[in-house]
Amino acid sequence: MADSSVEIIEGCRLPVLRKNQENEDEWPLAEILSVKDIPGRKLYYVHYIDFNKRLDEWVTPDRLDLKKLQFPKKEAKTPTKNGLPGSRPSSPERDVKRKAESVSLATQVTAAIPVPSLPSSAEASQASVYPAMRDSSFSIKSREEHEPLASLTTNGTTRRLIPSQPGRKRKSCGGTDEMVKVFQNNNPRCSTVYLPPGEDSQDSSDGIPSAPRMTGSLVSDRSHDDIVTRMKNIDCIELGRHRLKPWYFSPYPQELTTLPILYLCEFCLKYLKSLKCLQRHLTKCNLRHPPGNEIYRKGTISFFEIDGRKNKTYSQNLCLLAKCFLDHKTLYYDTDPFLFYVMTEYDSKGFHIVGYFSKEKESTEDYNVACILTLPPYQRRGYGKLLIEFSYELSKVEGKTGTPEKPLSDLGLLSYRSYWSQTILEILMNLKSENGERPQITINEISEITSVKKEDVISTLQYLNLINYYKGQYILTLSEDIVEGHERAMQKRHLRIDSKCLHFTPKDWSKRGKW
């Protein structure tokens, strides 16, 4: 397909041949990020537009369709957008950044998108449950019968929900505390909440847009993205008996990026440039498990708690490895304020790392997870949900509710939605009726039982489309399909956390000075 007479430069866009999941040929549009010459031919590093960056790859010229080649626009002239001079053409990355910046101005947005109404978390809505055939329906009734609009608690801030009045403007209070307008329609089933548009659900667990926290060490600052960090720099990593193909850029030393294989000690995660160096290192490395305290063991699965200040080198090496598979977040030097919980699988040779999650020692926003990762060889085997379940088990011991730090990756969002759905459905299906009446439960009680933050409980009920407003009360209806789907999913979920095997004492980090 490639014509040698046409010079392809960085920034060009054109269709590129690739195989899809069904192993069929397809020609998605891709952008050329880099060009390199090797003896005899050129290679092109491409990013498939609207595809995840982990699919980026080096391709040969014969996979390029030059008939539809688009050259990058010159920067000399200021292009226009929507007929407005001085504005640049839209790009997905700028749009994301613009959305985050506009959250603090949410009260100025006049357009609104209707979404199903839910009881506010501070309302502590009362729910009753009744069976219909095999279907189950749950009604949630407000305790304050005479107050159609209740207060809503988000990130520890309680505020009143009041209807907007024509011609009346409300000043922004603290950026993300924007107004939520509630309108009751004549149809009792149709209660509509209007939220400012343009926010992805993964960035707003409670249905209220909130800007990703860019001050935390684990949130990747995308404003400094350049062509180097957009490209994978490690070809292959050998970790124990596995060879891993990295998905994203990771800031390993520059001299290691030219190696065909980067070797890691699977116990201390030290990186080495050759197999001979690794073998020599293994004769001196005494570790057969992650450093730190083993706080959980059941069967071959163990969890180790690692202090980012006491075991700084290990923590930094862990973050460098994790960055190969996490694009949204990064941390490889500032590990002091974090705890790392590493899940391992035991055999005769030692404790082999399966995955991990990190959390802040002190979180002002109720985050119980900062980064979470299951290594690719162990994915799709239930370990991701086990990590999530363990993070909430720690929150239960601490007596807190928790939520993961936003934004979540695409795979992280899927895992959390699945975990929240299964956990909440498990509680609803186990409710028993008393005295022939429908059993009752509140949003607060679900949150306390699971340690899942109220906003995540509400967003999950909304995502599952379980909640309706009927005759003055909220009804949760479990259809036959949802019940059967949940039962099938639980049959496949063999790995569960046993709280009896957890030996964990939470620490009060606020009294420890600099930890």
**Measured between alpha carbons, how far is 365 from 351 in angstroms, rounded to an integer?**
33
The token pair at 241 is 């008996």
Helix or strand (DSSP H, E) at 242: strand 242-244
Phi then psi for residue 500, to 5 deg, are -70, -20
Residues 327, 218: Cα–Cα separation, whole Å = 11
Annotate 337-397 with DSSP letters as a single string: TEEEEEEEEEETTEEEEEEEEEEESS-TT-EEESEEEE-GGGTTTTHHHHHHHHHHHHHHH
Do residues 94 and 88 make contact, with C-beta atoms less than 8 angstroms apart? yes
What is the CA 320 to chain-centroid distance, rounded?
18
Active site residue 266: no
Query: Coil, helix or strand for 137?
Result: strand
Cβ neighbors of 402 (< 8 A, separation 6 or more) are: 366, 367, 368, 369, 391, 392, 395, 451, 452, 453
- CA dihedral defined by 423, 426, 429, 431, rounded to 10 degrees? -90
Distance CA 423, CA 435 (A): 26
Cα–Cα nearest to 142, from 402, 469, 363:
469
DSSP for 45-106, please give it. Answer: EEEETTS-GGG-EEE-GGGB-GGG-BPPPPSSS---BTTBTTPPPP-HHHHHHHHHHHGGGG
By C-alpha distance, which of 173, 181, 186, 189 is closest to 113? Answer: 181
Among the listed residues 405, 434, 480, 484, the single catalytic one is 405
Q: Are 140 and 467 in contact (CB under 8 A)?
A: yes
> Side chain identity at 260, as an amino acid letter?
P
What whole-number distance in Å separates Cα of residue 468 and Cα of residue 118? 8
> Which amino acids are annotated catalytic?
405
